[in-house]
Amino acid sequence: MSSVHPTRASQPGGPADAARIPVAGPQSDGTFPPWLDVAPVLRPLLPLYGLDVLTAFTVGMVPPLLPLLAAGWDLSAAEAGLVNAVYAAGRLCGSYPASRLRARLGTRAAVFLGLALLILGAVGCGLAPGLPLFLAGRVLMGLGASCTFLAVFAELLELTPPPWRGRLTNVFEAVAILSLAIGGVLAAAIAGRAGWRPVFVGAGPVLLVTVVFWPHLDPRAGRRPPAAAAGTVPAPVAWRRLLPVHAASLSMALTWAGLFSTLVPLIGSARYGLSSGALGLALGAGYLAELIGLLGVSLIVDRLPREPVFLAGAASVAVGGLFLAVGVHPGTFVLGLVLVGGGFAVWMIPATVLADRVGGPLSPAHLATYRIAMDTGMIAGPLVVGGLASVAGDRLAVGVAGFALVAGALALARW
């Protein structure tokens, strides 16, 4: 499904216009060039990968803490889901303003404004005396994450040439998963000894390290002229082709937020009797499975149509959810997590299909719509899956959650 089109860096007047990076195209026989040829393309992406490492852990540190938060404030499954839902609400509210901010001020300004909000929100969560102020801190974290993650990810999509887009975005996702896993394991270990509050407060100083990347980001990157910043409205047929992409993005975010990020930690503690430390290690196994899955997906994602690969990953998530639902032994819990984590190795495919189908630089409207679909899923996931667990039981909710992702994958493959 990949279609060759110029990246933002190759556009006249783009941020890389003054120092153009030579990008090798496919060889004369149609095969892809050796991986060594990607080094000039990879070099400007390294600061983006570094920012990914130092911010993604703030997402991974939360799931192992949910049982402690639920026990400390006597929360139901639906109420515990608010911890992730309000964070996603903050991201949703920030999506379009963040895309316009990047178009006006550039990637670097958007990234560090978001980081300031993320730090303030994380420290505020750790110091919050009760649930209402804690949730306010989570909203602030969501607003900051929206601004930072959208700017970094948009820069990544625009700088990666189509022949390598699948693999280079998978590297980005692998870096994020590694950060998520480390964040989850460390958060569980710290919370087991000192409680959940030091985890949030301690995230602030870690996030401050990102300042080392300030001089490595081009201040002009991401900016659009006023006419471009306003965006041209795509033709209706273009938006129709993008609707399945956004449906797949929404279903993926809904499943991750409702299943992996919310309900899995709760049933791991309540149904399987896992401590915070054991739960952190089990979630780490899921992240490791995703890292391994990313390696496998990277070998094929730029050589095969992306949509069937996404459907295969969705099926793995659904099967993993069934194992989690019917299991009673911790080993079955880990097996289910491995299948779910491995299935989520296709996380980057909707975004790469979006870039393929747009066929040019992503406008603020395209970026905002993609993020809004993702963040709507992040909000709906904990509420829908958590609400279903409260009404019909957590095992039923876990068992059916993955099939929402299968539905989204079928829509993407069909249209």
pLDDT of residue 38: 62
Q: Does residue 130 form part of some domain?
A: yes
Instruction: Collect contacts of 266-270 with beta carbons under 8 A, ≥24 apart.
Output: 266/66, 266/67, 266/70, 266/77, 266/80, 266/389, 266/394, 267/324, 267/394, 267/395, 267/398, 268/67, 268/333, 269/67, 270/67, 270/394
pLDDT of residue 248: 95
DSSP H or E stretch at residue 336: helix 330-343
Ranges assigned E (strand) in 329-409: none
pLDDT of residue 1: 36
pLDDT of residue 233: 46
CATH code of the domain in which 340 resides: 1.20.1250.20
Q: Does residue 37 form part of some domain?
A: no
Range of the domain at 394: 46-212+236-414
pLDDT of residue 21: 33
Q: Does residue 21 form part of some domain?
A: no
Integer Rg of the chain from CA: 20
Q: Does residue 96 form part of some domain?
A: yes
Residues (pLDDT < 70) of the chain are 1-39, 224-238, 360
How many domains, in total, are found in the chain?
Answer: 1
The string over 265-281, giving b where at least 16 C-beta atoms fall within 10 Å of a residue's C-beta and e elsewhere, is bbbbbebbebebebbbb
Q: List all residues 6 or more positions away from 374 whose beta carbon is below 8 Å from its beta carbon.
A: 91, 249, 250, 252, 253
pLDDT of residue 51: 92
Q: Does residue 382 form part of some domain?
A: yes
Q: 16-72 pLDDT, tens per residue?
A: 333 333 333 444 444 444 444 666 777 788 899 999 888 999 988 998 898 899 889
Q: What is the DSSP letter of 211?
A: G
pLDDT of residue 166: 81
Q: Does residue 106 form part of some domain?
A: yes
Instruction: Name residue, tokens 């089990």.
Output: 282
Q: List all residues 6 or more positions away from 166 whose beta carbon is below 8 Å from its beta carbon.
A: 2, 297, 298, 301, 302, 306, 348, 349, 352
Whether the CB-CB separation of 245 and 350 falls below 8 Å is answered with yes
Q: Does residue 66 form part of some domain?
A: yes
pTM of the shown model: 0.69
DSSP-based three-state secondary structure for 27: coil
Q: 121-162 pLDDT, tens per residue?
A: 999 999 999 999 999 999 999 999 989 988 998 888 888 887
Q: Does residue 65 form part of some domain?
A: yes
